[in-house]
Amino acid sequence: MDGFKRRLNESVQLQLSFTLSLAIVVVAIVAGVFSFLSAFDEAHELQDDVLRQVAQLMDRQSLSPTAPTHESRLKDADEESRVIVQRLGEGSLSEAELDAGGTLPLPTTLSDGLYTLNVGGEKFRVLVKTTAVGERIAVAQESSFRNEIARDGALRTVMPFLILVPVLLLIVADLVRKMFRPIAALSKEIDMRAEEALHPVDASHFPAEVRPFAVAINRLLARVGQSMASQRRFVADAAHELRSPLTALSLQAERLVDAEMSDHARERLTVLRQGIERGRSLLDQLLTLAKAQSATDLPQSPVSVQSVYRRVLEDLIPLAEAKQIDIGVEGTQDAEVWASELDMIALVKNLVDNAIRYTPNGGRVDLSVEISGAAALLRIQDSGPGISPDERDRVFDPFYRTLGSEQSGSGLGLAIVRTIVDRIGAEIRLDFADIDKQTGLCVTCLFKLSS
């Protein structure tokens, strides 16, 4: 009971359904009782009219009731439904018993009118009337039969309530559920949106009571969008502004290489140049991430995966040769995916760059593309240490790096990849390249083929 009260207090829909259902049940009970009693009394009135009509018929036709005998009773006569017509006071003269079709022992002192009398342990409804010739007659019927007929008629009157009230309760519950459907649809639409989907909700089809709520959500989405855009502009502007001083520092460090200095100073200069290069790489990654997050342009034409592979390999071959890594494209299968060429280059370049960095010297990096049904599968495999299943969700977070990694990097590569994949409606999966040994990393990107 406490659980129901708690759910009732927490749900407006349940409160409305329960209140309406309770009101319907209460009104139906009151109306049903009133209808039953009214129909019951009306049935008794009709039965009293039958007694009056029988008495009137006896009077108009100048009929005189005769005392029944044992032989006068019909074999198939219904004792309960029979109407007894007799002279007042002749019940004591009847030779037949009451259950055998005899007359009622009524007192002669009864005045004209309707009575409910207890005769022989049973109740009878009796009409006493004086005919035009001065004869007093009694027309009677057993009350139990009359009550049964009246009760059956009253129940037939109430029967529509008993049938229609449950149907009405179901209709009300369904109507309330449909009335709250726009709110559920709004909640589902907002819940299924991606993080970058901050476009306003279409509030034109919502009821007037729900429309202000949708308008408020649109205003909140607009404010969140402005805040996120400001943050992205700040990151992009800061990265852009920092490129110039870092470039100047890099040039000064290169000039110092030709200067005469001690071995210790030259070691410090090498560390300085490496730090400057890491800073420049971080700024480039920040700019790429900001562009990937803020890009809204739709692709105008499909792009070839093989052409993207060739352009990326042209840029990264020197990095792979420096580590003596065997890198290349497996097979000649090609696929055209509906995405921006710049997005595809950034996506593949970050994946291949990560593969080269985390693959030990003398390792292997393979690129391939495969068509499976209505999807194109882009695979990039390496012979590095791989990523454990526990970290596969975390590696897509900005600046996160796997534990124990000794490779230099910004931790933004996979974050950029995830941003691009989510924005263009693709899917990315991580697995071991060698499942048996649980080594190496296999990155698979699923793209819908262009129609």
Would you kindly state where each structural domain of the chain is located, as residue ranges?
20-166, 191-294, 299-448
For residues 195 and 228, give the distance between their C-alpha atoms in angstroms, rounded to a whole number. Answer: 11
Query: What pLDDT band is residue 10 in, cutting at 50, 70 and 90?
Result: low
In whole angstroms, what separates CA 391 from the centre of its chain? 32
What is the pLDDT, as a whole number, of residue 96? 47
What is the pLDDT, as a whole number, of residue 40? 82
Q: How do residues 235-264 score in pLDDT, each as one tens digit?
A: 677 766 777 777 777 777 777 777 777 878
Query: What sign does the CA torsion over 247, 251, 252, 257 have?
Result: positive
Query: CB-based contacts of 421: which residues, under 8 Å, 6+ apart?
Result: 347, 427, 428, 445
Q: Is the pLDDT of residue 102 over 70?
A: no
What is the pLDDT, as a whole number, of residue 94? 47
Q: Is the pLDDT of residue 366 over 80?
A: yes
What is the pLDDT, as a whole number, of residue 365? 92
For residues 167 and 159, give the distance between their C-alpha atoms in angstroms, rounded to a whole number. Answer: 13
Query: What pLDDT band is residue 138 in, cutting at 50, 70 and 90?
Result: confident
For residues 421 and 292, give the distance between their C-alpha atoms in angstroms, rounded to a whole number. Answer: 10
What is the pLDDT, as a whole number, of residue 68? 57
Out of 70-84, 175-189, 431-445, pick the least confident.
70-84
For residues 429 and 443, give the distance between their C-alpha atoms in angstroms, rounded to a whole number. Answer: 6
Out of 68-72, 228-232, 330-334, 394-398, pick the least confident.
68-72
Grouping H, G, I as helix, E, B as strand and the rest as coil, residue 370 is strand
Structure tokens at 302: 């499909």
Contact, 303 vs 345, CB < 8 A? no
CATH class of the domain at 191-294 = mainly alpha
What is the pLDDT, as a whole number, of residue 367? 92
CATH entry, 299-448, from 3.30.565.10, 3.80.10.10, 3.30.430.20, 3.90.1150.10: 3.30.565.10
Q: Is the pLDDT of residue 8 over 60?
A: no
Q: Is the pLDDT of residue 100 over 60?
A: no
Contact, 384 vs 441, CB < 8 A? yes
Q: What is the mean pLDDT of the chain?
A: 79
Structure tokens at 413: 């590569």
Taking only Cα atoms into account, the Rg of the chain, rounded to an integer number of angstroms, comes to: 48
Q: How do residues 298-310 score in pLDDT, each as one tens digit?
A: 666 788 889 999 9
Percentage of the residues of the chain whose pLDDT score is greater than 70: 84
Structure tokens at 193: 């949106």
- For 157, the enclosing helix (H) or strand (E) is helix 143-179
Long-range contacts of 211-217 (CB under 8 A, 24+ apart): 213/183, 213/186, 214/186, 217/186, 217/190
User: pTM for the full model?
Assistant: 0.52
Question: CATH topology of 191-294 equal to that of 299-448?
Answer: no
Query: What pLDDT band is residue 67 in, cutting at 50, 70 and 90?
Result: low
Q: Is the CATH number 3.10.450 carried by domain 20-166? A: no
Query: CB-based contacts of 160: which residues, under 8 Å, 6+ apart?
Result: none
Burial of 334: CB neighbours in 10 Å, binned 0-12, 13-18, 19+: middle
For residues 306 and 315, give the distance between their C-alpha atoms in angstroms, rounded to a whole number. Answer: 15
CA dihedral 298, 299, 301, 305 (to 10 degrees): -160
What is the pLDDT, as a whole number, of residue 74? 47
Q: Taking residues 24-30, report their average pLDDT.
A: 85
Q: Is the pLDDT of residue 98 over 70?
A: no
Q: Is the pLDDT of residue 152 over 80?
A: yes
Q: How do residues 71-84 score in pLDDT, each as one tens digit?
A: 544 444 555 567 88
Contact, 419 vs 293, CB < 8 A? yes
- Closest to 317 measured CA to CA, from 309, 406, 342: 309
Instruction: List b or e across 114-147, with b for residues whose CB sees 16 or more CB atoms inside 10 angstroms.
Output: eeebeeeeeebbbbbbebeeebbbbbbbbbebbb
Query: What pLDDT band is residue 93 in, cutting at 50, 70 and 90?
Result: very low
Structure tokens at 304: 């070839």
Strands 364-372 and 375-382 turn out to be antiparallel
Q: Is the pLDDT of residue 95 over 50?
A: no
Q: Taking residues 207-231, report their average pLDDT.
A: 82
Out of 90-104, 223-237, 255-269, 322-336, pick the least confident.
90-104
- Closest to 305 measured CA to CA, from 268, 253, 351: 351
What is the pLDDT, as a whole number, of residue 180? 79
Query: What pLDDT band is residue 442 in, cutting at 50, 70 and 90?
Result: very high
Strand partners, 85: 139
Contact, 114 vs 125, CB < 8 A? yes
